Amino acid sequence: MDMEMVHVLDHPLLQHKLSILRDENTGVKDFREIVSEVATLMCYEATRDLPLEEVEIQTPVAKAVTKQIAGKKLAIVPILRAGLGMVEGILTLIPSAKVGHIGLFRDPETLKPVKYYCKMPTDIAERDVIILDPMLATGGSASAAIDFVKEYGVKHIKLMNIIAAPEGIRRVQEDHPDVEIYVAAVDEKLNDHCYIVPGLGDAGDRIFGTK
């Protein structure tokens, strides 16, 4: 695994919240809220390299040359369903980001991603994109989502996952070596059903209470 393009965000607040997410006794309300908070904290780190430009403003006291974010605008693209749980948390920090959606589910037999929905902002090609999904397991869904976003002409893509398996990171790096990956934890392995171990279970079911 080439860790140069992988950012493991191990801030104490993130690690603490991640433990609550992993706990099977955490209920749907807390789980959903904490996924959102984790996304906000991860967004803070994933936007650390945004370019700045100088701007002249007038404070109540004096003129000042200060900084504002320059360059391309952002879009976030959650992978449905579970990625939806991260959207509000990102918009808390970047309220002007546009939101595209990609619907993918993992076929339980083949474990391959199946696309059932895709709607992107019309100007997505001019935006930098952060793809959101709490779980990076085999990497099939993330790799397919990156493929779709690239088909729209997007040049700069980041992938944000709360928990990743080493297998998923390797898969994304093989298919998309240009994509930087932001995770709060790299877990041990996948089990026989391609669930992340120890992981947190099925993220979609835990966010939406469907099990």
Catalytic residues: 106, 110, 202, 205
**Residue 163 CB, nearest approach to ligand URA (Å):** 7
**Residue 184 CB, nearest approach to ligand PRP (Å):** 15
Residue 47 makes CB contacts below 8 A (sequence gap 6+) with 74, 93, 94
- Chain residues that interact with ligand URA, rule: CB under 6 A: 82, 135, 137, 195-196, 199, 202-204
**Residue 95 CB, nearest approach to ligand URA (Å):** 28
The site partner of 113 among ligand URA, ligand PRP, none (C-beta below 5 to 8 Å per kind) is ligand PRP
The site partner of 195 among ligand PRP, ligand URA, none (C-beta below 5 to 8 Å per kind) is ligand URA
DSSP E strand stretches across 37-170 = 52-58, 63-69, 74-80, 98-99, 101-106, 113-119, 128-132, 135-136, 157-164
Residue placing its CB nearer to ligand PRP in the complex, 103 or 125: 103
- Chain residues that interact with ligand PRP, rule: CB under 6 A: 79, 81-82, 104-106, 113, 133-142, 168, 194, 202-204
Residue with tokens 């100007």: 123
Residue placing its CB nearer to ligand PRP in the complex, 99 or 105: 105
**Residue 195 CB, nearest approach to ligand PRP (Å):** 9
21-54: b (≥16 Cβ within 10 Å) or e: beeeebeeeebbbbbbbbbebbbeebbeeeeeee
Q: Give the nearest residue (CB) to ligand PRP.
A: 204
The site partner of 81 among ligand URA, ligand PRP, none (C-beta below 5 to 8 Å per kind) is ligand PRP
* Beta-bridge mates of residue 118: 102
Contact 131, 149 (CB under 8 A): yes
Question: Positive or negative, the Cα torsion across 39, 41, 42, 44?
Answer: positive
Other Cβ atoms closer than 10 A to 192: 5
Residue placing its CB nearer to ligand PRP in the complex, 54 or 192: 192
**Residue 17 CB, nearest approach to ligand URA (Å):** 17
Other Cβ atoms closer than 10 A to 72: 14
The site partner of 105 among ligand PRP, ligand URA, none (C-beta below 5 to 8 Å per kind) is ligand PRP
